[in-house]
A and B are shown apart, each in its own frame.
Chain A
């Protein structure tokens, strides 16, 4: 992980010249599970093997140092091991893989074990430590046990394996128990609560999960250690917001490739494209620096967001421009997720004594 201020400064300087340091590649839009809040548009076509290799070459040559391989479900692709082999031979410093863990057989697990040193994290999503809740949410019976088998096999093979549990209505009150359960099995566990409500249907179905009440319940359930971590993060965010008006500190060091080769500044931007990594032959640096949208994006400041003017939480709030753009189509209205989250943080976390 990059934490040294001097290196971050250098990365930001390069990003300003159009050299993204962190890349994401969605190798497919297809998935074998049916998580209702998923932001991936399954109608988007997948690149052919040779086209993905071109995309990987271009990311490597453009200076991308950390690469996240995700989907859809990456292991739904028949050529996934060929693609991962290709990625492992490139000069990426850090490689992350996100999966639902249900499609890996012994062959895939053995392959990953053979490359364990090159994988910084293999992350599997769970929605609960209770199999019924998980299976019901992903819509495929037996998913929990398959995914847990994969996770355990990878972990025992020496692959750095993590579990992500994202808060939804069905797990809200038991999410800390899920954290403890997966922790007790030896996994690195992350819990999250952010969502990209990419369509009106998802917005309607998941409105409750971005409400102040939802976040209040979420924060009331977190451990004391997590409260201390959150306070540290808020303090850091306060310093960042005091120093800079930039919407997202990391955004300009990012590049994200969708399954059809579309280039977006970050995977959170679901309906903004800068070009196509396969068909657009210009250097990535040029695609970035010549993009009018991208240049506009660079100029937008937190103080430009109309709805945030006069808000008492602007000093600690995080407003993701990608989610904002995906949900509202512009940069004038932050997702209610951010407003409700920061209110809950203030009411629950900041009010607790250390």
Chain B
């Protein structure tokens, strides 16, 4: 399970998601899929649940959904947008 870094502010404007990392003074933006993964993390879904959600939402096979989701989660971790929930 992951959680959003408390230093991050999130704003949804129309269909776009913007995130601001106060520590780094950086603004990130995400596409629809990225936004769905982030919302899922916010809603405390675990990795498996998120992969299933992506797979069913975009009608892609479970393997591809899993690979893409894990890759994106890795980027979020590297950018310190999310952290492992204790």
Residues in A neighbouring B22, C-beta threshold 8 A: 93, 117-118
> Does B13 touch A at the CB level, under 8 Å?
yes
Q: Which residue of chain B has the shortest Cβ distance to A21 in the bound complex? A: B13
The tally of residues in B whose CB lies under 8 Å from a CB in A reads: 13
Report the separation of the CA atoms of residues A27 and B25 in the bound assembly, to the nearest whole angstrom: 26
- Given B10, B16, B20, B28, which contacts A94 in the complex, CB threshold below 8 Å? B20
Report the separation of the CA atoms of residues A163 and B15 in the bound assembly, to the nearest whole angstrom: 38
> Does A65 touch B at the CB level, under 8 Å?
yes
Q: Is the CB–CB distance between B20 and A93 below 8 Å? A: yes
Residues in B neighbouring A118, C-beta threshold 8 A: 22
Report the separation of the CA atoms of residues A118 and B18 in the bound assembly, to the nearest whole angstrom: 17
Report the separation of the CA atoms of residues A91 and B25 in the bound assembly, to the nearest whole angstrom: 15
Binds B, one of A2-10, A238-246, A294-302, A342-350: A2-10
Q: Is the CB–CB distance between A17 and B14 below 8 Å? A: yes
Residues in B neighbouring A92, C-beta threshold 8 A: 9
Report the separation of the CA atoms of residues A54 and B27 in the bound assembly, to the nearest whole angstrom: 26
Q: Is the CB–CB distance between A2 and B11 below 8 Å? A: no
Q: Is the CB–CB distance between A63 and B29 below 8 Å? A: no
Encode contact with A along B17-32: 1 for CB under 8 Å, 0 otherwise: 0101010010111000
Query: Chain A contact residues (Cβ within 8 angstroms of B): what range?
Result: 10 to 19
Q: Is the CB–CB distance between B14 and A93 below 8 Å? A: no
- Given B10, B11, B14, B27, which contacts A7 in the complex, CB threshold below 8 Å? B27
Report the separation of the CA atoms of residues A14 and B17 in the bound assembly, to the nearest whole angstrom: 11
Q: Is the CB–CB distance between B25 and A10 below 8 Å? A: no
Report the separation of the CA atoms of residues A120 and B23 in the bound assembly, to the nearest whole angstrom: 11
Q: Is the CB–CB distance between B11 and A14 below 8 Å? A: no
Q: Is the CB–CB distance between A91 and B27 below 8 Å? A: no
Residues in B neighbouring A117, C-beta threshold 8 A: 22
Q: Is the CB–CB distance between A91 and B11 below 8 Å? A: yes
Chain A CB within 10 Å, residue with most, of B14, B25, B28: B14
Known: A65-B20, A93-B18. A10 touches B29 (CB 8 A): yes
Q: Is the CB–CB distance between A7 and B20 below 8 Å? A: no
Report the separation of the CA atoms of residues A118 and B11 in the bound assembly, to the nearest whole angstrom: 16
* Interface set, chain A 59-112, CB cutoff 8 A to B: 63, 65, 91-94
Report the separation of the CA atoms of residues A120 and B16 in the bound assembly, to the nearest whole angstrom: 24
Report the separation of the CA atoms of residues A117 and B9 in the bound assembly, to the nearest whole angstrom: 13
Residues in A neighbouring B28, C-beta threshold 8 A: 7
Report the separation of the CA atoms of residues A201 and B29 in the bound assembly, to the nearest whole angstrom: 46
Chain A min CB distance to B32 (Å): 12
Residues in A neighbouring B16, C-beta threshold 8 A: 10, 14
Known: A91-B9, A93-B9. A65 touches B14 (CB 8 A): no
> Does A269 touch B at the CB level, under 8 Å?
no
Residues in A neighbouring B20, C-beta threshold 8 A: 65, 93-94
> Does A144 touch B at the CB level, under 8 Å?
no
Report the separation of the CA atoms of residues A173 and B16 in the bound assembly, to the nearest whole angstrom: 48
- 4 tightest Cβ-Cβ pairs between the two chains A and B: A63-B13, A93-B20, A19-B13, A7-B29
> A residues engaging B (CB < 8 A)?
1-2, 4, 6-7, 10, 14, 17, 19, 21, 63, 65, 91-94, 117-118, 120
5 further interface pairs, Cβ-Cβ under 8 Å (given A93-B9, A93-B22): A10-B16, A14-B16, A65-B11, A117-B22, A120-B25
